[in-house]
Structure 1
Amino acid sequence: MQKSVLLLLLFGLQTLSAYVEESTASSPKTYQGLDATLWMQTSVEHDVACVQAYRLATMQAINALRDPCWTAAVEQTAGYAQLPPAVILDLDETVLNNAAFMARLVKRDKDWDEELWSQWVREKKSKAIPGVKEFLNHLIQNNVAIFFITNRDYRLETPTVENLSRVLGMKINQSQVLCQNEKPDWTWNKTSRRAFVARHYRILLLLGDDFNDFTYQGKIPPPERITQGERFKSYWGRRWILLPNPVYGDWEKAFYHYDGAMPAAKKLHLKFEALDSNNN
């Protein structure tokens, strides 16, 4: 009897040990992006923040149309008053919601994967950000040209245009989507593409989720990014409309010095080091 009880106890311990080992092996190591991705996918707060941003953009577009001296592009300095109006938007997390892709990364415990990203874009499953369709329809009704400046690679332009046309319910042409590397000087820095549009249109508004969507400041550390943001205080909420993105962006890259090849553990360490628990 005692021998039977002992055998059962040993079997139970082995089963428990195997379960713990299996659970530990399959569990994510960092949970990076988990809460932020869930917030984007499930919270009313995310959707409301986006709708608020686009309602503000609609009001500001009306104001901009009334003022021929108004421009949102720092690249546009003179001779633009008589140009036809246009608005420039970023794509990802500004017009297209990719939270489902980010959920894939969280489940695979990856911070980024270029191959998986290309596969996602070709699936054309991105949804429209709340509020964007109404805003774009307002622009069309007022004869305002629409351009999308994106750091998606130019080789992904066709599925991107098809995805946009479907979820926005309007025909989007490739000429409206200015991708990275589409021309030799169209780099990650979006300045040259904004200047390209600004040569032919008066830029009423810029919309995006990253500082680079408005003006390029270089690869600077987080405190300097905040300082540079203060320099453009008069633009935010007037000429520049920011959409929420707590998952990725230059704000996050700045913690690990924009070195995407850095090991994930080192990136995570630097992020923990940047936390301020003393409100300094």
Structure 2
Amino acid sequence: MKKSIGLVCASAILLAACSPPKQTQQGISLANGGKVWASLWQQRAAEYKALCFQAYNLAKLRLDEALAKSSGNNKPMAVVTDIDETLLDNSPYDAMRALNNQEYTLDTWKTWTAKADADTVPGAPAFFKYAASKGVQVYYITNRDESEREGTTKNLQKYGLPYTDAAHIFLKNGPSSKEARRQQVAAKCDIVLLCGDNLPDFDKVYDDKRPEAERTAATERLRKEFGSRYIVIPNPSYGDFESALFKYNYKLSGAQKDSVIKANIKLEKQ
């Protein structure tokens, strides 16, 4: 009897050890599966680095052009930048959450930002340090909450980023729109460039949860600004493009998101 019990216990342990984790059995949603691949691309693809270098090389070129024309302007020059996926790389947070098939929550996000452990986006530190070396001020306008200031500042200072005092870091302390904060900077500086990964980082026309068609139309109208005054950094993992697809319904389950994805993606005709 003891041998039988021992055999049963050993078999149970072996089965438990060999069985895939519960998450693998259930499967990852299409939405989270996409975030896994997006994070992997962000972390490992040379093409991602090339696109970021391309964006910041162009930013430097445009800044040099602005500096060459700046003789008659009384206001100091400034570059306005977003932080997440524009300057700091949060893909480890996205990947961990997606692999566990978990939705974004403010609590898990704040736990991550408090660690001040995000790496930098390729090309970003060099560009902003270059701007500062030319006397151009850098303003960080982010939708991280005011409660995240300590971790955010620590993370920026970890890489020696310029202008990381409270006067130059504008966190969210009210509406998500960045327009009012941009106007605060514009009142005292000549904003020559804006850097971001999400279109509301650039223009108020993208505020107020615009549907996909309006976002596309606005981008067509502003096409000359991109690469000129607006410098866009690639971010395939999240942003208003995702929110617009789901019609800004932040309560959708993974299965509901998958249904929306299947209904909207273009497929090869059979």
TM-score by length of 1: 0.83
| Secondary structure class of the residue paired with 1:204 | strand
Q: Deviations over 1:20-49 (max 9, x none)?
A: 795753643442411111100111111111
Check the 8 A contact 1:165/1:171 in 2, yes or no: no
Q: 1:22 to 1:248 in 2, by over 3 A?
A: closer
> Is 1:198 aligned to residue 190 of structure 2?
no
Aligned counterpart for 1:88 among listed residues 72, 80, 84: 80
**Equivalences for residues 11-160 of structure 1 within 5 A:** 19=19, 24-25=24-25, 27-30=27-30, 31-68=33-70, 81-160=73-152
Q: Deviations over 1:55-95 (max 9, x none)?
A: 110010011123349xxxxxxxxxx9421100000000001
| Secondary structure class of the residue paired with 1:238 | coil
- Mapped to 2, the partners of 1:228 and 1:278 lie a distance apart of 29
Q: Which moved more, 1:193-202 or 1:261-270?
A: 261-270
| Secondary structure class of the residue paired with 1:187 | coil
Counterpart of 2:211 in structure 1 is: 221
Q: 1:22 to 1:208 in 2, by over 3 A?
A: closer
Q: Deviations over 1:159-200 (max 9, x none)?
A: 10111011235562121110011xxxx411110000010000
> Is 1:180 aligned to residue 172 of structure 2?
yes
Counterpart of 2:260 in structure 1 is: 270
- Mapped to 2, the partners of 1:28 and 1:230 lie a distance apart of 35
- Mapped to 2, the partners of 1:66 and 1:268 lie a distance apart of 50
Aligned counterpart for 1:252 among listed residues 233, 242, 250: 242
Aligned-residue sequence identity (percent) comes to 28
Check the 8 A contact 2:29/2:258 in 1, yes or no: no
Counterpart of 2:200 in structure 1 is: 212
Q: After the TM superposition, list the runs of 4 or more consecutive aligned residues in structure 1 that deviate by more than 3 angstroms.
A: 18-27, 168-171
| Secondary structure class of the residue paired with 2:182 | helix
- Mapped to 2, the partners of 1:156 and 1:23 lie a distance apart of 31
- Mapped to 1, the partners of 2:243 and 2:23 lie a distance apart of 31
- Mapped to 2, the partners of 1:15 and 1:97 lie a distance apart of 39
| Secondary structure class of the residue paired with 1:112 | coil
Letter in 2 for 1:25: Q
Which runs of 5 or more structure 2 residues have no equivalent in the other structure? 1-10
Check the 8 A contact 1:32/1:111 in 2, yes or no: no
Which runs of 5 or more structure 1 residues have no equivalent in the other structure? 1-10, 70-79
Letter in 1 for 2:247: H
Letter in 1 for 2:56: Y
| Secondary structure class of the residue paired with 1:168 | coil
Letter in 1 for 2:75: L
- Mapped to 2, the partners of 1:206 and 1:55 lie a distance apart of 14
Q: 1:15 to 1:188 in 2, by over 3 A?
A: same
| Secondary structure class of the residue paired with 2:144 | strand
Q: 1:212 to 1:268 in 2, by over 3 A?
A: same
> Is 1:261 aligned to residue 247 of structure 2?
no
Q: CA RMSD in A?
A: 2.5
- Mapped to 2, the partners of 1:22 and 1:232 lie a distance apart of 47
Check the 8 A contact 1:208/1:242 in 2, yes or no: yes
